[in-house]
Amino acid sequence: MKYISTRGEAPSLNFEDVLLTGLASDGGLYVPETLPEYSLDEIRSWRGLPYHELAFRILKPFVDGAIPDDEFATMLKDTYGVFGHKAVAPLAQIDHNEFVLELFQGPTLAFKDFALQLLGRLLDHVLEKRGERVVIMGATSGDTGSAAIEGCKRCKNIDIFILHPHNRVSEVQRRQMTTIAGDNIHNLAIDGNFDDCQSMVKASFGDQSFLRGERRLVAVNSINWARIMAQIVYYFYASLNLGGPDREMAFSVPTGNFGDIFAGYLARKMGLPIGQLIVATNQNDILHRVMSNNVYEKHPLAHTLSPSMDIVVSSNFERLLFDLYDRDGAVLNDLMRRLNTDAVTLDEARLAKARDVFDSYAVNDDVTVETIRTVFDETGYLLDPHTAIGVKAARETRRSAINPMITLGTAHPVKFAPAVERAGLKTPELPHHLTDLMEREERYTVLPNELQRVQAYVTDAVFG
């Protein structure tokens, strides 16, 4: 399978190279040139498969020979074998025909484990084969960093540097990153905010000369195609467990960078009957504003109780726009450039195509807290603030009472104590494998908010 850039100018790549790349050289994002499509009969034949076997069937065409089938099957079994629940992605029912898909059973208790546990293993395989070493650099406000470190901690051929804003991530989230021991793991606490961290990572990808041409940087954010790909699987899994493909499903997805929900859109294009996809945002609602009013415009960042969805722009929205604009890279190039400075209006007919399946809804902190409380009172089930936003959006925008409504449960509530406490509820216990998290030894280095200091640190650690 070939991968092409949304901006039409970068060379097309095979799976291995797309795995080892961040942004395309033209500033775009890589997407598959074509998607596999399945009949209802084929999808039906996957009923009852364990998660990793379903993953093998769905992901094999994307990996396309880069890894021998038997090794890929074993890799997937290992990847999803580390999850804390035998069903990997179990469904919890919270009302008539309404469900939460629990995507927080992985080692770091958020859905990012689904992709990053696999990404670490994919990278390890490909790098070993090529005899190559790479450097991972990523910025995190919490969930991405711990999931990336957990996913890559065993990879001999990767040095991983995760930047987080010093004193601005929760203690559980920080400890999930800083207590993982390994000579190849580097936690950098930056005296700045998340944007500062992200800017330094972006600048480093833009000019990699500090790595002396001897190493390349690999991205672990959802710019990386492999992350999106891994997330397609659980849409099929949830559907098959609720009577799909013979019933249409609706999914509500707590959204930041549009990565998770874009995977749902791809599942639909591959043939899974999905009647509705709900873009659920917090107060950082650029996606809700474009979906409802057709203005795509940056607003300043707001800090909310659902920090993993605190974004200014949604990078993966570009992948959807590419489809809406008939995969015309030149048009996308122009559109994305204008967005840097202006409010952009989309072509109404093209936006209407998106609205056939997408709805959107924005939820503020007060309503998030209220939803956590309401669902707890109704069912005894405790939602994390991100998932609560998904549930609220589902209840406000649901189109069909007949189609099962599935909200993606993106994180475990134990990671987000402030929201749970504001709802007047007790933060739950840490799961079994993390009970001693608060006692474990931490390792991180505090650095000033200066690109040169950070890059010098990386160079020094890599080339020592």
Ligand X SMILES: *Cc1c(COP(=O)(O)O)cnc(C)c1O
Helix (H, G, I), strand (E, B) or coil at 98: strand
Least separation, in Å, of the C-beta of 102 and ligand X?
A: 12
% helix, strand, coil for the chain, step of 5: 45, 15, 40
Please report whether residue 143 would count as binding ligand X according to CB under 6 A.
yes
d(CA 266, CA 232) in angstroms, rounded, equals: 7
Candidates 2, 60, 86, 112; catalytic one: 112
Alpha helices in 67-139 (DSSP H): 69-81, 112-130
Q: Which long-range contacts (CB under 8 A, 24 or more apart) does 326-333 make?
A: 328/8, 329/5, 329/6, 329/7, 329/8, 329/9, 329/26, 329/28, 330/8, 332/6, 332/7, 332/8, 332/28, 333/7, 333/8, 333/9, 333/26, 333/27, 333/28
Stretch in the footprint of ligand X (CB under 6 A) among 77-85, 255-263, 324-332, 348-356? 255-263
Residues between 349 and 388 with contacts to ligand X, criterion CB under 6 A: 386
Instruction: Work out the angle at residue 38's Cα, subtended by the Cα atoms of residues 406 and 229, and round it to the nearest 5 degrees.
Output: 60
Pair type for strands 98-102 and 91-95: antiparallel
Please report whether residue 146 would count as binding ligand X according to CB under 6 A.
no
Binding mask 69-108 for ligand X (x = CB under 6 A): ----------------------------------------
Considering only residues 20, 76, 110, 363, which one is a binding residue for ligand X as defined by CB under 6 A?
A: 110
Binding mask 166-185 for ligand X (x = CB under 6 A): --------------------
Please report whether residue 308 would count as binding ligand X according to CB under 6 A.
yes
Structure tokens given for 83: 């999850």
Stretch in the footprint of ligand X (CB under 6 A) among 45-53, 86-94, 248-256, 428-436? 248-256
CA distances from 273 to 39, 84, 239, 396 (A): 10, 29, 9, 22
Least separation, in Å, of the C-beta of 203 and ligand X?
A: 21
Nearer to ligand X, 225 or 258 (CB): 258
2 catalytic, yes or no?
A: no
Least separation, in Å, of the C-beta of 257 and ligand X?
A: 3
d(CA 292, CA 358) in angstroms, rounded, equals: 10
Residues with catalytic function: 112
Interacting residues with ligand X (CB under 6 A): 110, 112, 143, 222, 254-260, 308-309, 386, 410-411
